[in-house]
Amino acid sequence: MILLIQYTLVFTSVLMLVALGGCFSEHSGVINIGLEGIMVFGALGGALVMSAMPAGTSAFIIIVLSILAAMVMGILYSLLLAVAAINFKADQTLVGTAMNLLGTAAATVIVKALNTSVNPNNPSSTLQYINAKKAFLLVDGYEFNWFMPLALCLLVLAYVILYKTRFGLRLMSCGEHPQAAASVGINVYKMRYAGVMISGLLGGLGGLVYITAGVSEWKFENGVAGFGFLALAVMIFGGWKPFRIALAALLFGFFRALSNVYTGFDLLAQLNLPSTVYNMLPYIISLVVLVFFSKNSAAPKAEGIPYDQGSR
C-alpha cells in the first residue's frame, strides 16, 4: 500500500505539472500537442546535469541545477512550437506531433553521441544518475521526494497567476478573443509566446520528475511512455482549471501507479490478468474520459486559431 501511495504521488506530480503547462499554452490560444517531446528534452537536461555531478556535490546544488536545466531545455524546445505556430501560423497539431517524434529521436542521438565520445564501445542511449537521484529524496528508502511539495506549490502559483494577476487575465483573454484583447493594447503575440514558454518550463520539469521516479538511470529511446498525451487528457478532464486538473491528475496517477504495483495486491494478483492489461489501464481510462467529457469541455474559444491582426 505504501508503494502504491508513493507511485501515485509521483505520477500525479508529473501529470499535474505537464497538464498545467498545457493549460497555460491553451489559455493563450496555442494548442500544445508537443508536451511529450518537451518532457523528453526536459528529462534530458536534468539527466545530463545529474550524471555530470561529481560525488560529494551538495544535495541543494544538485536539485537546483537539475531543475533549472530541465526547465531551460523545456523552454528552448517549446520555442519550436511558438515560432512555427505564432510567427508562421503553422498547423499547431502537426507541429506538436512533429515535436513528439523529434524529441525522442533527437535525445537518443544526443545521448548516444555523448556516451560514444566518452567510451567508443558504449553507444548506449542510457544516462545514469545513481548518486544524484538520492538528493531528491525526502525520506531515505522511499520515493517521497522534493518534487511533490514543489508540484503543490506550483499548482497554487498557477491558480494565482491565471485568476489573480493582470498577466493571467490578459493571457486568458488572448485565448478567448485575441482581437478584443489587441483592441485594448494587449500584445497577443507576446502573450502567446509567454503561454507556450510556460508550458515548456512546466513540461520540462515534469519530464525530470518522470525519469527520477523509482529509477537511477534512463534509456532515452524509451521516451516518456505517453505521459505527455495522458497529461493532455488530464487537462481536458480538468476543464483547463488548475485545481480540477490536480484532481484529474490524482485519478490518472492512481491508475498509472496501480500498473506498477498490482502484484502486491492479493485480490488483483488472483485475477491472473496479464501485466499488459494493468499497463494499459491509464490509457484506457483516458480514452473513456475523453469520450464522455470532451464534448462538454469548455476549451478556450480561440485555441488553435492563428492570430491575424487584420481580422475582426
Structure confidence at residue 291 (pLDDT): 81
What are 159-166's contacts with CB under 8 Å, separation 24+?
A: 159/242, 159/243, 162/23, 162/24, 162/27, 162/242
Kindly list the domain boundaries of the chain, sorted by start residue. 12-228
pTM over 0.85: yes
Tell me what pLDDT residue 229 has: 93
The answer to whether 238 touches 248, Cβ cutoff 8 Å, is yes
CB 249 within 8 A of CB 234: yes
The per-type count for the chain, helices as H runs and strands as E runs, is 13, 2
Residues across the chain: 312
What is the pLDDT, as a whole number, of residue 144?
81
Find out whether 240 and 7 touch, Cβ atoms under 8 Å: no
Q: CA-to-CA distance for 167 and 27, rounded, in angstroms?
A: 12
What's the average pLDDT block by block, 10 residues per block, for the chain (312 residues)?
Answer: 85 97 97 97 96 90 96 98 96 96 96 91 88 83 83 97 97 95 95 98 97 88 92 93 95 86 60 73 82 78 86 63
What pLDDT does residue 288 have?
Answer: 85
pLDDT at 264: 55
